[in-house]
Structure formats: structure tokens, C-alpha cells
Structure 1
Amino acid sequence: MDIKEYWKAALAQDAEKMRGFFHPGAWVNWHNTNEHFTLEEFIRANCEYPDKWDGKIERTEQYQSLIITAVHVFAKEKPLSFHVVSFFRIENDKIISIDEYWGDDGPAPQWRLDKHIGKAIK
């Protein structure tokens, strides 16, 4: 399973290429919005989004049949930016499930800024 190629297809919103990475009965959970998707629902949610995606893999870890990625995802035409952590379960070189956690990028909350704690990562 080439996780970089999966993300390339997902960010390109290429439904046919994406489908090839999954078992037919695969499912995806988006925990932040409490949504459970079948494979086809997930592909629709990703590929029918009303903008184009781009992004960069920032970290990948693998332990046995689990692949974990941290990816910076952003919309090409809107000021939307996210970091997503994805837990991929792999069986016979295909994705059987993904648990994803999406976080909106933005400034630290005012209460932390007021305390003058922390500093920018980049």
C-alpha cells in the first residue's frame, strides 16, 4: 500500500484512483463531525467538494497493519486550511477502514495569546 499515492489521488479528487486503494466494504469515520461513510459516500464527500484540494504529507508512521498520516490539506480557491490525522487499517494491501480527525488551522485562542505562552512552530 503506497500511502503517498493514495493521498495524491485523494487530493486530486480522483474517484477512480481512490477506489483502487480500498476494499469494497471499507468505511471511513470523520470523528470531528460524527460522520460514518461507506466507501462510495466517502468518495463522494471527497470528490464532490465544491473546491479543489491540495496538500502535503507532513508525517507518516506504520505499525503492522496500521498506517498513520498527518497531512496539511487546503482548498485551492478558498482560504481554508486543515490538518488531518488519519488512521488507515490495511488488509491484503487495501484500506479496510480510516478513522480521520480534521482540525481547522488558525491562530491560537485569545486566552492563550493573552498569557504570552507558546510560540509559532514555523
Structure 2
Amino acid sequence: MTFFTVAEYQSSSLTAWAQKMTREIIESFWEAMATNDFAKAALWLHPDFEYFMPQTCEYLTGRENFARFNAAYPTEGKWTFSIQSIVFADHDAVSDVLISDGSMHARAITFHKLRDGLIVRQKEFWPDNYPAPQWRSPWMKVVGDAPF
């Protein structure tokens, strides 16, 4: 077994490889979600998968439950998923994804933890849009789309 110091690991191609794999796994997961075949998307989830929504304190386990939950979600049409950004470090990632069924428009901020090349844990936030407070208007302006 080879051991690396933190400095050696951070400067090595191992770090670059881990980050590349993490990014590809997260992108592939969202691409599978976009097919609306949630059993297919669940193949990117580890058998010990855990999912938590802190805003409602809901928790589920298992990739089968994840697939069934998403398939049962009320919808007006086919779901679309548009990745806005992915930030990653080794086997952790955060994705910012716009989600819509043509009627409903939402944003999901998802914290992903990977193990064995699969997503083992997701903590997902669904922030609501709200009007900008008036007190901030001297410094801020309201824009239609994200400027970056």
C-alpha cells in the first residue's frame, strides 16, 4: 500500500482523477434524471443511499424509494433539469439545478457524498423565490435571470 502526505495527494494526479470522476458522476446523475426514467437515475445511487430534505425534515433510504418518490411526484409534464453549476472536492459535490415541468419552476441545491463511485448521500434544499426587500434597493437591483 502506498501512503501519501496531504501535500503529495493534493498535488497529485489522484486528486485530479477523483475530481474528474466526481464531476462526471454528478453530471451523469442529472442527465439520467432528465430522461424522467427515475429507475435509471437511481442506478447512480449507492445501495446504502440516504436522502434528506432539511426544510421539511423528510428522510428516505434506498435507491428504489428514491425512484418511486420521484416517479410519484405530481407533474404537469416532462421534468427538465438544467445544471447551473457543480462545485466539487474529492468525493463531495454541490449542484445548483433548475427544475421544471413546464408549469412549476424550481431550484434544487443538492449536497452529494460519493462512495464506491456512486452517490451515497444527498441533502437537498428547494429554496423559494421571494420579492426583494425594499431596504436593499440602494445597493441592489432586481434582475430577471441570474447574471452569472
Aligned pairs for 1:89-104 (under 5 A) are 89-104=113-128
Question: Paired residues, what number?
Answer: 116
The answer to whether the Cα contact below 8 Å between 1:82 and 1:102 also exists between their aligned partners in 2 is yes
Q: Scaled by the length of structure 1, what TM-score is found?
A: 0.83
| 1:84–1:102 CA contact under 8 A, matched in 2 | yes
C-alpha contact 2:33 2:81 (8 A) present in aligned 1: no
Mean Cα deviation higher: 87-96 or 38-47: 38-47
Q: Which runs of 5+ in 1 are unaligned?
A: none
Are 1:11 and 2:34 an aligned pair?
A: yes
1:116 CA drift (Å): 5.9
Q: What is the CA-CA distance between 1:55 and the residue it aligns to?
A: 2.3
Q: Which runs of 4+ in 1 moved over 6 A?
A: none
Q: Map 1:39-50 to 2 at 5 A.
A: 39=62, 40-50=64-74
TM-score by length of 2: 0.70
Q: Which deviates more from structure 2 when the two are superposed, residues 15-24 or residues 63-72?
A: 15-24
Which of the pair is proportionally richer in helix? 2
- Say yes or no: does 1:23 pair with 2:46: yes
- Post-superposition Cα deviations, 1:65-101, rounded to whole Å, max 9, x if no partner, equal 101101111122x2x1111111110011111100101
Partner of 1:69: 95
Counterpart residue identity of residue 29, structure 1: F
Identity, % of aligned pairs? 22
**Contact between 1:10 and 1:46, CA under 8 Å: does it hold in 2?**
no
* Amino acid in structure 2 at the alignment position of 1:54: T
Aligned Cα root-mean-square deviation (Å)? 1.8
Highest Rg: 1 or 2?
Answer: 2
| 1:35, distance to aligned residue in structure 2 (A) | 0.4
CA distance in 2: counterparts of 1:116 and 1:95, whole angstroms? 39
Distance 1:92 1:53, change over 3 A: same
Gaps of 5+ in 2: 1-23
